[in-house]
Amino acid sequence: MSQSVTPPQRPTESSRPPLSTTDTAADSTIAHAGYTQQLARTLGRFESFAVAFSFISITTGLFSTYGTVLGSGGPAGIWTWPIVTVGTIFVALVYGMLANRIPLSGYSYQWASRLASPVLGWWFGWVSFAFLAIVAVAVDYGLTQVALFPLLGIEYTAGRGAVVTMIVLLVQMALIIWSTPIITKINNWAVGAEVLAMIGLTVLIAGAVMFTGKGDWGNLTAYGSIPSDGYYGWLGPFMLSALLGAFTLVGWESAANLAEETHNPKKVVPAAMVRALLVSGVIGMLFLMVITAGIGKNLEAISGSSSPVADIIQGTVGGAVAKAMLVVVCVAIFACGLVIMVSCSRLVYAMARDGRVPASNLLSRVPRPTGGPTFATLLAGLTSVVIVLAFASNTDALAQLLGAATLMPAILYAGTVALYIATRHKYTPRADDFSLGRWEKPVVAGAVMWLVIELCIFMIPAQFRDAQYYALGTLAVGAVLFAVVWFTRRAQLTSERGESVDAL
């Protein structure tokens, strides 16, 4: 039998910060959508950028996947990074137009629900939830294996990695429930430290390579142990190295998921997503070049290391700098995991307030406007803990998690761009909208071209079978949950919320 959903009461004005004219318009958008404003708007331009940049977290991605690239494509595989960067920026520009059009928590879930149908929106929401749950685990596993354990001098084992990862997840969950302003401050500090540390470390390693002879610039075009025959062929070793950028340059859309907590989201969010990708792309490429040169003649030993980047840093600029950098990396990766769980909790919250998941009344509760949705955050965090338990005895957990956390967003990005193309004719941009003007069609074409290539890379080769099994498994679990929702909450699942898209 269908259950009704009672919307939580609007917070009193005294509990919220003063609103600007643009924030009043943003709150009006939420009212048109059929909701009340429950979450305090605490994110400005830098904070929105920091959310997107922190989810990307080039230190997280590079420290976690660099060893995988050395094994699959050799040092020359780093040159897939600019290809992935450009393709992903095209996708982000399409997302920017959707985020401007429907600036609500839940991002792709909301967009699909309002532009196509609530049922399609539910599936977008489920795949997004599955991605966020697995990528939180992948990131926190990366924290333990490639940063925290090397920093503390602890030998990594599957059991130790699982225990520490679960502890980190629980700490992140508690912080999110307690206070959004606190996690925003942690994230802002972490982003600033990450940018400064990456730039400083890039300069130091480059200096060591150029003036002390501790590196070899010839590594930039070396294949390592990978055969040169067919290296640049379609789906050859070079293209498989795209995992480096495809795993790292994801999650920038989390800025759109926090639209209801952002000042003037229609303007701020699209710019934040693109800016985060541009900064990450440039800094990441420079760092990859110097770290690859810093391998020197130790390619075989570095390729077999469980923490190759940390080993290269220590070999080029010394143990003290390596330790200091690992501290920054630990903070940056922790903040990355924090933002991922925040995004996951907001997605659950957005679906729950529409009554489209079981226990919606509970999952949509926000006890304080400056805190997170308590039970939605608990669900997000505990789901990730269950995934850790499933990988607890797996010695190759990080590599398998990386593959799964790369394929899932590629599927989401492709589905969202297809949604935009199919529904573009329904909307006429306003004068103050984020718009690409005459560049819109070339950008959309570029996004489609890149996504087709990316999906081929991660769906055809056998190396990514584990990731494909995870994707299929989540769809199977989703089908069971969808059946439960369909038979118990059909009215909520098929009902439209708020006014038409054009009214937003």
Residue 45 token pair: 């331009």
Residue 473 token pair: 């498994």
- pLDDT over 70 percentage in the chain: 94
Average pLDDT over residues 88-115: 93
List CB contacts of 438: < 8 A, sequence separation 6 or more.
Answer: none
Q: What is the pLDDT of residue 429?
A: 74
Among positive and negative, which fits the CA dihedral 349, 127, 458, 95? Answer: negative
Q: What is the pLDDT of residue 396?
A: 73
Check whether 500 has a pLDDT greater than 50: no
Please state, in angstroms and rounded to a whole number, the distance separating the CA atoms of residues 350 and 344: 10
Residue 376 token pair: 């939605």
Q: 262 has which bridge partners?
A: 43
Average pLDDT over residues 184-189: 88
Do residues 347 and 121 make contact, with C-beta atoms less than 8 angstroms apart? no
Q: Which residue has the tokens 């990708």?
A: 277
Please state, in angstroms and rounded to a whole number, the distance separating the CA atoms of residues 384 and 390: 10
Check whether 369 has a pLDDT greater than 70: yes
Cβ atoms < 10 Å from Cβ of 301: 12
Residue 30 CA, chain-centre distance (Å), reads 25
Q: What is the pLDDT of residue 172?
A: 94
H-type alpha helices, 318-424: 319-353, 360-363, 374-390, 397-423
**Most confident range, picked from 177-186, 463-472, 475-484:** 475-484
Q: What is the pLDDT of residue 159?
A: 86
Q: What is the pLDDT of residue 16?
A: 41
For the chain, give every domain's residue range: 44-426+436-491
Tens-place pLDDT, residues 145-158: 878 888 888 888 88
CA-closest candidate to residue 386, choices 169, 144, 123, 173: 169
SS3 156: coil
C-alpha neighbours within 13 Å on the C-beta side of residue 196: 8
Q: What is the pLDDT of residue 362?
A: 93
- For the ranges 125-139, 218-232, 282-296, 305-319, which has the lowest average pLDDT? 305-319
**Most confident range, picked from 28-32, 180-184, 263-267:** 263-267
Check whether 143 has a pLDDT greater than 80: yes
Tens-place pLDDT, residues 48-80: 999 999 989 898 888 878 988 898 899 999 999
Would you state the torsion angle of the CA atoms of residues 305, 311, 315, 318, taken in this order, to the nearest 10 degrees? Answer: -160
Q: How confident is the model at residue 17 (pLDDT cuts 50, 70, 90)?
A: very low
**Burial classification of residue 480, based on how many CB atoms lie within 10 Å of its CB (0-12 exposed, 13-18 middle, 19 or more buried):** exposed
Q: What is the pLDDT of residue 8?
A: 41
Do residues 377 and 388 make contact, with C-beta atoms less than 8 angstroms apart? no
Tens-place pLDDT, residues 1-14: 334 444 444 333 33
Q: 43 has which bridge partners?
A: 262
Q: What is the pLDDT of residue 22?
A: 66
Task: Please tell me the pTM assigned to this model.
Answer: 0.86
Do residues 137 and 58 make contact, with C-beta atoms less than 8 angstroms apart? no
Average pLDDT over residues 289-316: 88
List CB contacts of 494: < 8 A, sequence separation 6 or more.
Answer: 118, 119
Please state, in angstroms and rounded to a whole number, the distance separating the CA atoms of residues 193 and 329: 9
Please state, in angstroms and rounded to a whole number, the distance separating the CA atoms of residues 198 and 110: 36
Please state, in angstroms and rounded to a whole number, the distance separating the CA atoms of residues 322 and 318: 6
Do residues 465 and 403 make contact, with C-beta atoms less than 8 angstroms apart? no
DSSP conformational letter for 263: S
Element (H, E) at 22: helix 21-32
DSSP conformational letter for 499: S
C-alpha neighbours within 13 Å on the C-beta side of residue 140: 31
pLDDT, the chain, mean: 86
Do residues 97 and 261 make contact, with C-beta atoms less than 8 angstroms apart? no
Considering the domain 44-426+436-491, what is its CATH architecture?
Up-down Bundle (1.20)
Q: 53 has which bridge partners?
A: none
Cβ atoms < 10 Å from Cβ of 425: 7
Q: Which residue has the higher pLDDT, 429 or 378?
A: 378
Q: What is the pLDDT of residue 5?
A: 42
Q: What is the pLDDT of residue 24?
A: 77
